[in-house]
Amino acid sequence: MNPSEGTPDPETEKPIRVAVPDYVYPLIPSFLGNRRHDVATIRDALARQDYGTVRLLGHRMKGDGSGYGLDRISEIGAALEQAAVELDVDG
């Protein structure tokens, strides 16, 4: 397994270190690039109060993060999904 250093956790200011299977390691840069794109999409959706999009992307992050061994991404996705459900009075 290869250790991977991420960006600092905003709550602790320390890098989040994870260990992933060797076959997943080369996929991490693309995976994280896609999540950066999701963050931009989520910000745009929030500006439009489109909580359905936030819920969907959060749900995907929750599942995809665990599939890559990135539990913190799954936790963030679950929190986004739950918050969007609570805010979406139309949905």
pLDDT tens digits along 3-35: 445 555 556 667 778 888 888 889 999 999 999
Report the alpha-carbon distance of residue 74 to residue 40 in Å, rounded: 18
pLDDT score, position 4: 46
Report the alpha-carbon distance of residue 46 to residue 63 in Å, rounded: 21
Nearest to 84 by CA among 40, 47, 53: 53
Grade residue 2 by pLDDT with cuts at 50, 70 and 90: very low
pLDDT in tens, 23-70: 888 999 999 999 999 999 999 999 999 999 999 999 999 999 988 889
Tokens of 19: 């260990």
Report the alpha-carbon distance of residue 81 to residue 58 in Å, rounded: 5
Contact partners, residue 69, CB within 8 Å, separation at least 6: 18, 19, 20, 21, 24
